[in-house]
């Protein structure tokens, strides 16, 4: 060893100190945290609604209309995926066009695959620019999904849980399947009970695992996550969907997390106690929903793997994307229709 070389243990200590320092800085920008290192998801800022035409005579600033509204989505994003699933199930593809954006690690946000002409003479290259031009005083996160009203040039809503209710209720006149009600009045209390459990423990729970910045924060949420998955697996042993025999918005909200679990969250977010494939009922439930008409077309699994493993640099500095698992198993028989 040359006399000028640093001792190996010192090199390791310096390297570790440097990486941990940079990691905490990057994580603080990507994932806001509490004092104990737990991830805190900021609230969505735009919470307006679209009124069905029959309810919008003369007073709604966002009345339902075909072609007036546009959805901005990222194919890897589970929150945007909710909107795509409901749009597909209701048959709103012709009434509500979409614009797909992709994450850019260089810019630190969503960018348009092609420049988006918001209004004549105004072109947006990123969602950050889109938000600023639509609402000049906005200083929050530039997230998807976004439901945009092109007639008044305004963001209606960027909260996925509310966008899917809007899509379910407001556009029935323009839907191919207006008879489908994913949020029926008789089941709303039960749906909301499931949502209040699924969101913190599972939908956001996987992010709380992946973005935890201390061991204690991670240890607490991993128990909550798998406790909820274990409970739901037991419930699904005797009923086809969360609220019985009919698919609801509670199932949509759970599905978009489950379909990403084994291909992304299990690995990069350290949600590795079990796979969804290891659950006898959850795995069949996932296949059941995936195989319903139009749903598989909303699932871009290669984009999920590419964007999570390739773009979340602090969690996967190498950018190496794993080969597995085999997503062909999503088309295997599920026998869930035998349940009521």
Beta bridge mates, 157: 47, 147
The reply to whether 77 belongs to the active site is yes
Is residue 259 within 8 A of residue 295, CB to CB? The reply is no
Is-contact 289 251, C-beta < 8 A?
A: yes
Read off φ and ψ for residue 303, nearest 5 degrees.
-65, -40
C-alpha distance across the termini of the chain, in Å: 72
Checking DSSP bridges between strand 109-119 and strand 98-104, what pairing results, if any? antiparallel
Q: In terms of DSSP H, where are the helices of the chain?
A: 8-30, 78-90, 127-134, 160-169, 188-198, 205-210, 215-235, 249-260, 266-268, 280-290, 301-311
Single out the catalytic residue among 77, 243, 271, 299.
Answer: 77
**What DSSP string runs through 73-90?**
EETT-HHHHHHHHHHHHH
Rounded Cα–Cα distance for residues 230 and 224 (Å): 10
Q: Residue 128 has which token pair?
A: 């950050």
122-126 and 109-119: which strand pairing? antiparallel
Residue tagged active-site, from 207, 265, 285, 308: 207
Give catalytic residues, as residue numbers: 77, 207
């Amino acid at each position: 060893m040359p006399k000028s070389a640093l001792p190996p243990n010192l090199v390791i200590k310096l390297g570790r100190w440097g990486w941990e320092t940079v990691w905490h800085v990057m994580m603080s920008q990507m994932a806001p945290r509490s004092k104990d290192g737990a991830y805190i998801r900021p609230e969505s800022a735009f919470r307006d609604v679209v009124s069905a035409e029959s309810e919008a005579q003369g007073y709604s600033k966002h009345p339902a209309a075909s072609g007036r509204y546009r959805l901005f989505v990222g194919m890897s994003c589970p929150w945007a995926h909710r909107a795509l699933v409901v749009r597909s199930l209701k048959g709103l593809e012709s009434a509500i066009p979409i614009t797909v954006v992709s994450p850019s690690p260089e810019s630190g946000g969503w960018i348009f695959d092609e420049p988006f002409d918001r209004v004549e003479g105004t072109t947006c290259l990123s969602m950050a620019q889109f938000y600023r031009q639509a609402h000049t005083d906005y200083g929050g996160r530039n997230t998807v999904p976004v439901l945009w009203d092109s007639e008044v040039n305004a963001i209606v809503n960027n909260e996925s849980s509310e966008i899917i209710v809007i899509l379910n209720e407001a556009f029935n006149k323009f839907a191919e399947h207006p008879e489908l009600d994913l949020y029926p009045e008789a089941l709303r209390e039960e749906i909301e009970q499931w949502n209040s459990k699924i969101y913190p423990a599972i939908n956001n729970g996987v992010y709380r695992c992946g973005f935890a910045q201390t061991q204690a924060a991670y240890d607490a949420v991993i128990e909550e996550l798998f406790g909820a998955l274990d409970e739901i697996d037991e419930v699904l042993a005797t009923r086809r969907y969360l609220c019985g025999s009919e698919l609801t918005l509670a199932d949509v909200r759970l599905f978009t997390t489950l379909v990403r679990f084994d291909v992304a969250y299990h690995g990069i977010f350290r949600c590795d106690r079990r796979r969804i494939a290891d659950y006898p009922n959850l795995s069949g439930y996932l296949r059941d929903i995936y195989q319903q008409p139009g749903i598989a077309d909303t699932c871009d699994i290669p984009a999920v793997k590419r964007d999570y493993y390739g773009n979340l640099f602090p969690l996967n500095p190498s950018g190496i994307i794993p080969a597995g698992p085999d997503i062909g198993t999503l088309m295997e028989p599920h026998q869930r229709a035998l349940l009521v």
